[in-house]
Homo-oligomer: A and B are copies of this chain.
């Protein structure tokens, strides 16, 4: 397949995922529980995790129908984490629309999240595979790692300084893990060899890290209409992210002081965020962060080359580049 065909293939897969997700939630009762779920899934999304799971499965010789339920389960689980994280992080906008706890209320958002994690298991349990127990274990262990990641993230908000090591440990738990779980489950469902499973897990690890660091960068450098959430929301929430920690580790005391003064302003807003952008460009924080993302993506692609050549591997490569360029 050529590049256009591959991109069309990914788009078709995404549509299939969207359709199946819709079918899981429409017409269920009570509406109080399911209406917000329909709202969440009709908002669309990149569907990166289910796409990765399916393509990982196909890249080792498996087929779509064997892994579709696991793919849906991983997206439902991911959506659950968004709903609860948005409450904890006081995020009012997601994908350009009010978050569940804003559109409804906190009780609804808590319950909708609880319902989603349950439905994720229900859908996962539709999978037929001799290693289903192991798959459920990977899914569950991954979920606990996510919870730990979110706990660390919240703890970091209360700390004055966070080391880069601590930050990387946190994002490996909070973001990378679920991407790893997606690829690992896909590889198992496709009956991939140990070597293939490992290559896909390592691929996911690099991709997941790149993805989060890019997200951090976009929070500061993208407009709301691109990122789907308010510009600088991490800065507003006093979250220490990759660019911020990198900046604090590599700048002169006077420049750091300038940053801290901006950051601690009581009416911290757009003006301050634009000043921080300038500082981050001036201090090469932007450039260094972009460089790290580029290296991680290169490593991810290298792991992919350990897999057998084929359409699914090419789709994974394409998806990786689309994620890098945020055009997916």
Contacts and interface: CB of A to CB of B under 8 A. Distances in A.
Interface stretch (A12-20, A112-120, A280-288): A112-120
A103 B106 CA distance: 19
A164 interface: no
Interface string A137-150: 10011011001101
A202 B116 CA distance: 29
Contacts of A154: 32, 107-108, 111
A57 to B, nearest CB: 20
Given A133-B132, A154-B32, A140 B121 contact: yes
Contacts of A125: 133, 136-137, 140
A117 B120 CA distance: 13
Interface in A54-79: none
Does more than half of chain A's interface fall in helix, strand or loop, or is it mixed? helix
Instruction: Say how many copies of this protein the assembly contains.
Output: 2
Interface of A: 30, 32-33, 84, 87-88, 106-108, 110-111, 113-115, 117-119, 121-122, 125, 132-133, 136-137, 140-141, 143-144, 147-148, 150-152, 154-155
A119 B155 CA distance: 21
